[in-house]
Structure 1
């Protein structure tokens, strides 16, 4: 995976170099030349434009790195403050992010060698001049810090990618287990009821008819579970409010939805689906409401007026264990408030 240069880093360096160059010209600290200053400012503008184009095109990283290097030399030649050499710190930084550690280290060494070579040619005895030695040491320090930042950025993005992969795998496993448990249970019930209907067909038509009705009901539950699982899979890439709005129950949204990430959206969506399904199927509720509040943490609350239950006696068949396992994958918690005859309130909080 190619990792692009972090936009704010390059933009910050460009801005600092621009301010230093303009201040040097205005304050008379360097050669006063309007054409040279205009070229310097245009070069910095070209660097900003190049970064914007690279983010949009997202191809030919080597060509963009070469173009950036050419502009660095041009800006450094036009700069009267001498600070433009700091731009070259971005070369190994970008190379590290784009091509990997070896490329970043090699280009970092070359940049330092070019600086030292330039001093050797244009500043005789530079190694005895305090200011020149200080410039070289500061540039070397900047290279080390840039490479360290690039390494941290690469590791962070790899870790984020790994977490996303693990979350997706965990969700697939959860869905597979949910389908196996729920669909397998319903199909088993259908099989038993059909056998019962066949056994009583010639002896008691009422019992046989009731068995067939129970089998149809189990088939309906199975289809509902399949639709729920498919809906969860299709919810990726959409906002939480959008997917919750398709549950078919009243929805209250408080606050502005942040970028939750697909794993969190899937977790909260699936939790709401299970809570609503449980309220209707097991709780026999005729009124279910979903509320989501966005803030420092995202809180999802599903309330119903069903017959309630004893949370301490609930088992995995009611879905509470699955809810807690799924919420834990994204650092969330689940609380259930219910008692027989008093409805149920399920709260899922995700940081």
Structure 2
């Protein structure tokens, strides 16, 4: 029920002041005529005050309430004309037209305009009829009729231009509101993009730390475990493993510095991809004793992003083989064509059930890296059947 009688303020203050000026003018003219007639137009004043107060708040509820509001306005003006001053009060239908522009759509506005023009014409005819008993000459009567016709035409033009003016004002206001809303949406989108960029950057750094530092620490842990087992039996045999662990610790520190450096810039790897892969595989073989068979065919230099993704996928795969596979042989095959580059990493380890291990951060990171380059990653594995990782990365558009 409360929503039914909701109100809204007059959107344009200068139109409200214009309405008050028209009401004040009508009140002044009515007061002059009342002074000449030696009577106080209390009812007219109440009508003008009521119309002025109604201009403060416009109904914003359902359409029937708006029609009722407009009908009350028209009724007040029509009632005022029955009390006299017929040539003054009908001009207030312009106020009804102004307010109807805020209450109705264009069809409703022109209905109000047509009704106002028709009532104005009726009032003008009534006004002429009040002059008929004066027995004016035909020439004077023709002048009066011509004058009234001109007033009706001017009033009709006034209704038209008032409707067009308010329509332009409303259109401009809606445009400004839509523009402000669009700016706010753009601001929200910018914030979301900034947050998304920050999340992507954090994920990228997390992948860098996991792929680089995780690999070094995994290998370091293997060396230390071997050294601990040999220390009690033959410390001299444990020494090479401790030295290797020390070297891996240095590598891990280097990887930490490089990962921190990615917070400021993402520098490309300085060494060629073939050399980086060879060093990675050599380190893996020394740490695990696993045989790695490599086939690398890269006739052209790969884009930096592709090279980095391939390196990280190989690194993560070797780390997982070292930690989980218990493999004795690994095959790494890398081939490049004009359209794409294909990487296959296979081992003869114990394999695993992919559906139960697919949520690991390492596998998730590999999927993210490949997806960022619009590539595909496939993992074929079953318990006791080893594991095969296939990656294809397009070279066009990178």
TM-score by structure 1 length? Answer: 0.51
Aligned to 1:185: 201
Answer whether contact 1:193 1:215 (CA < 8 A) is retained.
Answer: yes
Deviations 1:269-290 (A, max 9, x none): xxxxxxxxxxxxxxxxxxxxxx
Shift of 1:182: 3.0
Map 1:289-308 to 2 at 5 A: none
Aligned to 1:199: 215
Shift of 1:88: 0.4
Deviations 1:219-275 (A, max 9, x none): 9xxxxxxxxxxxxxxxxxxxxxxxxxxxxxxxxxxxxxxxxxxxxxxxxxxxxxxxx
Q: What count of residue pairs does the alignment treat as equivalent?
A: 215
Q: Indicate yes or no: 2:47 matched with 1:51.
A: no
Between 8-17 and 208-217, report the one with greater CA deviation: 208-217
Map 1:1-351 to 2 at 5 A: 6-26=12-32, 31-34=37-40, 37-54=41-58, 60-78=65-83, 80=85, 82-124=87-129, 128-129=143-144, 130-201=146-217, 202=220, 203=245, 204-205=248-249, 208=252
Shift of 1:120: 3.0
Shift of 1:152: 0.5
The CA distance in 2 between the partners of 1:161 and 1:50, in whole Å, is 26
- Larger of the two Rg values belongs to structure: 2
Shift of 1:16: 2.7
Question: Secondary structure of 1:123's partner?
Answer: helix
The CA distance in 2 between the partners of 1:179 and 1:23, in whole Å, is 66
Shift of 1:184: 1.2
The CA distance in 1 between the partners of 2:191 and 2:29, in whole Å, is 61
The CA distance in 2 between the partners of 1:144 and 1:72, in whole Å, is 20
Distance 1:4 1:28, change over 3 A: closer
Distance 1:156 1:4, change over 3 A: farther
Distance 1:45 1:122, change over 3 A: closer
The CA distance in 2 between the partners of 1:136 and 1:13, in whole Å, is 20
Distance 1:66 1:122, change over 3 A: same
Answer whether contact 1:200 1:207 (CA < 8 A) is retained.
Answer: yes
Between 198-207 and 181-190, report the one with greater CA deviation: 198-207
Distance 1:127 1:153, change over 3 A: farther
The CA distance in 2 between the partners of 1:87 and 1:52, in whole Å, is 16
The CA distance in 1 between the partners of 2:66 and 2:184, in whole Å, is 30
Distance 1:23 1:89, change over 3 A: closer
Structure 1 stretches of 5 or more lacking a match?
A: 220-351
Answer whether contact 1:92 1:103 (CA < 8 A) is retained.
Answer: no
Answer whether contact 2:81 2:123 (CA < 8 A) is retained.
Answer: no
Deviations 1:23-75 (A, max 9, x none): 552476753311xx2222222222232233436x7663223222222222244
Distance 1:79 1:9, change over 3 A: farther
TM-score by structure 2 length? Answer: 0.45
The CA distance in 2 between the partners of 1:122 and 1:192, in whole Å, is 91
Answer whether contact 2:87 2:124 (CA < 8 A) is retained.
Answer: no
Distance 1:53 1:14, change over 3 A: same
Answer whether contact 1:69 1:91 (CA < 8 A) is retained.
Answer: yes
The CA distance in 2 between the partners of 1:88 and 1:189, in whole Å, is 71
The CA distance in 1 between the partners of 2:57 and 2:8, in whole Å, is 16
The CA distance in 1 between the partners of 2:44 and 2:57, in whole Å, is 20
Question: Secondary structure of 1:16's partner?
Answer: helix
Shift of 1:148: 0.9
Deviations 1:178-207 (A, max 9, x none): 233332123201210222221222144466
Shift of 1:115: 1.9
